[in-house]
Chains A and B, each alone.
Chain A
């Protein structure tokens, strides 16, 4: 059943249609950049604020209109931070913990992801469904038995206790599988097999080089997640052997909080990630836009 309508008369607008069409050489105007600048300020100001206060003293907080520029107190405050918490030890611990977790997650995810993506075996689909189902499970809620396990093993206070719960993630396996399915042509694997390569050497020489970009992205996000974790290290480590995050929180736990010191600590703890961001910001963005998710 068709109804023939009168077609609309040609649009008689002031501007030619072309100009008004979205994404057809249309340049965004002043308003767009104004909005973007507002978002930029909202993102950057709290960080800038912590730099400003961290380089002054608590008196700066009493002023009605806060100072806009950093003062000259920064190095004094840094010295205070170093006196209050074992900063370098904490930094080393954080690097070590995040590094171990990253290597483990990336290695096991690539292996399992490759197997799910490219190899045929009985029960493959069922097991993949199991992986996807476990992605939504909040494993963080198993902390009480995990804590008991660590205590029984006598690992509380050790770095090993921090890395154990996140040595593998279901998301990592899923992410690597999604990537490898399209990236490795089956012919490539077959030809390597015809040349007499064993399964593991096929993985090593064919799959690994192809998986490298995804491994980098997964590694980046795993590192970030491990670096920012707070609850678990807080439970299994003590004040004498902290990660950067738990050490930072000790700055705040004093009876009289000196905020200039606290915010100096926050700045110091953010610096390593700022460096990482400067080096790998593009990868981080493309990773998010390809569907990397919170772990």
Chain B
């Protein structure tokens, strides 16, 4: 049984703009808002626990501020003047730079050598790669303990060996340079293999035919290494140096645990800047000056970063593969 209902005919002239349905509007909102929603957690959290504390550090540095008593008087730049006059601050900067250089330059040289050795047709490739990465999984705390023992002045393994060879015992703890070498050794031991793998990845990106044409042109292995490999991995090397800088200027664990009963040696002979910051904040309880030290170190690291970046832009292009390629091929064409 059917009944036909007379419906009013639909208006012939369709509305020029149909109102979007609720669903469509929801969809538009979804498309527009989602990207922001996905990045929001990162930016909010980072602002809260990353950027805000750094900015607030500057605020604290303008006050007399005590660990327990809290905020004191506004002193303006007095903390900065004080810290810049502070012998120990400059001493800590010197130690940091010295340890940083001792733990970056040899590390880079050795890591490049290891990478070059690994960049061949090796048997048991994965085994060798894992073996040089082994130190990386030992935590800095354990590394500091193991090496503090090995570098022991009285019973240390290294001094024992030196003594048996008839060499005088070295004061690895009490003298400035030996203590820096000991701490740099900890850093080098843990990071060399890691950086070697990064450099190895860069070496493997160099096209093999370049090596072949160079070899045909009569370049020996060393010549090939210095003329092809090194220029090609230069950008990666700079990258490694930059990361080493950011990390190296903030070194804390190794010097702290090398002599756990002091803050960087009895005469501050290996007190690094972050270690001095720690002492200033939690032993001398002077938050105002500690914040000043943190802020100054922050500026130094940023400065290093900018200088690094400028140098990178200068010479990153110099190691361009294509240039070498054209040079090699043009020579062969001739």
Contact = CB atoms under 8 A, between A and B. Distances in A.
A, B: real partners: yes
A49 B157 contact: yes
A28 B120 CA distance: 7
* Interface class of chain A by DSSP: helix
Interface stretch (A71-79, A208-216, A276-284): A276-284
B122 to A, nearest CB: 6
Interface residues of A, number: 107
Interface in A184-232: 198-200, 203, 224, 227-228, 230-231
A229 B242 CA distance: 20
Given A22-B221, A167-B49, A32 B294 contact: no
A111 B38 contact: yes
A72 B295 CA distance: 51
Contacts of A282: 126
* Interface class of chain B by DSSP: helix
B108 to A, nearest CB: 15
B145 A142 contact: no
Find the residue from A40, A65, A230, A245 having the highest chain B CB count within 10 A: A230
A141 B45 contact: no
A266 B218 contact: no
A35 B115 CA distance: 11
A44 B53 contact: no
Contacts of A148: 60, 287
B231 interface: no
Interface stretch (B78-86, B88-96, B274-282): B274-282
Contact of A43 (B139, B193, B252, B253): B193
Contacts of A277: 130, 133-134, 137
Contact of B246 (A23, A114, A120, A136): A136
A167 B42 CA distance: 9
Contacts of A198: 27, 30
Contacts of B189: 42-43, 46
Contacts of A50: 142, 145-146, 149
Given A43-B134, A121-B36, A288-B197, A144 B294 contact: yes
Contacts of B42: 108-109, 111-112, 131, 168, 173
A49 B121 contact: no
B250 interface: yes
Nearest to A165: B49
B54 A137 contact: yes
A127 interface: yes
Nearest to A63: B160
Contacts of B256: 230, 249
Nearest to A5: B334
Contacts of B135: 43, 46-47
B34 A145 contact: no
Find the residue from B34, B163, B247, B295 having the highest chain A CB count within 10 A: B34
A203 B37 CA distance: 12
Given A121-B36, A136-B246, A144 B149 contact: no
A11 to B, nearest CB: 6
A277 B130 CA distance: 9
B131 A44 contact: yes
B39 interface: yes
Nearest to A121: B35
Interface in A114-140: 114-116, 119-121, 124, 127, 131, 134, 136-140
A265 interface: yes
A18 to B, nearest CB: 9
A178 interface: no
A274 interface: yes
B39 A116 contact: yes
B11 interface: no
A14 interface: no
B50 interface: yes
A269 B200 contact: no
Given A32-B117, A252-B145, A138 B197 contact: no
Given A17-B215, A36-B117, A144-B290, A265 B145 contact: yes
A239 interface: no
B274 A231 contact: yes
Interface stretch (B175-183, B296-304, B320-328): B296-304
A224 to B, nearest CB: 7
A228 B140 contact: yes
Given A200-B34, A289-B198, A145 B60 contact: yes
Interface string B232-261: 000000000011001101101100110011
16 contacts: A23-B208, A23-B211, A36-B118, A43-B132, A46-B143, A61-B157, A112-B38, A112-B39, A142-B57, A145-B53, A166-B49, A168-B41, A170-B46, A230-B141, A231-B274, A288-B194
Interface of A: 4-5, 7-8, 11, 17, 20-28, 32, 35-36, 39-40, 42-44, 46-47, 49-50, 53, 61-66, 108-109, 111-112, 114-116, 119-121, 124, 127, 131, 134, 136-149, 164-168, 170, 173, 198-200, 203, 224, 227-228, 230-231, 235, 244-245, 248-249, 251-253, 259, 262-263, 265-266, 269-270, 273-274, 276-277, 281-282, 284-285, 288-291, 293-294
Given A43-B135, A47-B134, A61-B157, 10 more contacts: A21-B215, A22-B215, A63-B160, A108-B45, A124-B35, A136-B305, A147-B281, A269-B141, A274-B137, A285-B129
Interface of B: 27, 30-32, 34-36, 38-39, 41-43, 45-46, 49-54, 56-57, 60, 114, 117-118, 120-122, 126, 128-143, 145-150, 152, 155-157, 160, 163-164, 189, 193-194, 197-198, 200-201, 208, 211-212, 215-218, 221, 224, 242-243, 246-247, 249-250, 252-253, 256-257, 260-261, 274, 278, 281-282, 287, 290-291, 294-295, 297-298, 301-302, 305, 334
